[in-house]
Structure 1
Amino acid sequence: MGVAGQDEDQRPFVDGLFAVSAVLEDGSDIAGARQTAREFLTSVQAVHGLPVSTRAMGMVQLVVSELVTNARKYALGPCLLRLEVEGGAVQVSVWDSSTTLPSVRAADPERVGQHGLEIVMAVCQSFAVQREPVGKRIIATVVLADDPGGDAAGRRAL
């Protein structure tokens, strides 16, 4: 093994799972969560050689911001952010202690605020909510590279 993330032939080593976790304890951690996502994806690209499109970099930070904001707003105590890369996508997972499951409200252009989950679901390849022994976990997946045909990552033109 040569440089971290490459084999002797200098090919990117992408067979493994890359992940980072962070415990967030107050509202000021939202900017820190976005920074964690940015640094993680920069490392995934620079060290491990995986492509990360500009769009994906922005979308992951947006998803992290929305999910962590909701966790901080609606749950008591800390929340846990986990980012994992596998199979050309990053999975954003946010755990919090609240047992109340989120609900996406009906579209309403007159409503101010409370559009976070709508946004997350619009930009992600997949979205799931899991009950945990304590609280819940929200999981959203964003594809790291845009399609060669020009379609935005994870979406197909209609």
Structure 2
Amino acid sequence: MEPSGTHSGPPSTHTIATAVPLTGGGSCISAARHLAADFLARVQADQDVAVSARAMDLTQLVVSELVTNARKYAPGPIRVELRIEEAAVEVTVRDGGRVQPLVCDVDPLRVGQHGLEIVRAVSRSFQVHAEPSGKRVTAYIALGDDPGAGPD
């Protein structure tokens, strides 16, 4: 997995990002989690951007949940994009599915289908956008320990 579009510089003046296409095979969920961890570790080490342990864990969780949904419900390849935006990491997963994902209401008795519920609970914001070739699902996770920090 080679990152694309990685730029150096302070996050407020330059974009720090990576994007990787995934085939949707059985190992793509693990590969996406590793991509997220590696990206944040590089941002922290190379760009001197503060990334809390909370942000590292939550970013991997969100990537895992979004890629799992894309693999389960959408045909074709998946694209994972990570970008530092001010005090947050923007996680975007693109897939070929035209059906908008359903975020279920909280129900502790429901077995399964909690992925987007979790993503929505741990993210600063969560959005789904239709695109000509499928959809784009984006979540923002605060880089610090303050879950309210980052873009709206």
Q: TM-score, normalised by structure 2?
A: 0.88
Q: Secondary structure at the match of 2:126?
A: strand
Partner residue of 2:38? 39
Change (3 A) 1:5 1:23: closer
CA shift digits 1:83-138 (9 cap, x unpaired): 00021111000000010001111222221110000000000001000000110000
Which segment is superposed worse, 99-108 or 119-128?
A: 99-108
Measured against aligned partners, the alpha-carbon deviations of 1:12-71 in whole angstroms (never above 9, x if no partner) come to x33211001111111311000000000000011000000000000000000000000000
Following superposition of structure 1 onto structure 2, how do residues 6-45 of structure 1 map, counting pairs within 5 Å? 13-14=10-11, 15-25=13-23, 26-45=25-44
Task: Give the superposition deviation at 1:76.
Answer: 1.1
CA distance in 2, matches of 1:20, 1:5: 12
Residue type at the aligned position of 1:105 = C
Other-structure match for 1:69: 68
Number of aligned positions between the proteins: 141
Alignment of 1:8-157 (within 5 A): 13-14=10-11, 15-25=13-23, 26-146=25-145, 152-154=146-148
Instruction: Tell me the CA shift for residue 154 of structure 1.
Output: 2.1
Q: Which amino acid aligns with 2:121?
A: A
Q: Distance in 2 between matches of 1:5 and 1:101?
A: 34
Gaps of 5+ in 1: 7-12, 147-151
Distance in 2 between residues matched to 1:154 and 1:138, nearest whole Å: 20
Which amino acid in the other structure matches residue 31 of structure 1?
S
- CA RMSD of the aligned region, Å? 1.5
Report the Cα distance in structure 1 between the residues aligned to 2:85 and 2:108, rounded to whole angstroms.
Answer: 36
Q: Which has the larger radius of gyration?
A: 1
Shift of 1:5: 5.1
Q: Any runs of at least 4 consecutive aligned residues in structure 1 with deviations exceeding 3 A, and if so which?
A: none
Kindly indicate whether the alpha-carbon contact (under 8 Å) linking 1:95 and 1:137 is maintained by their aligned counterparts in 2.
Answer: yes
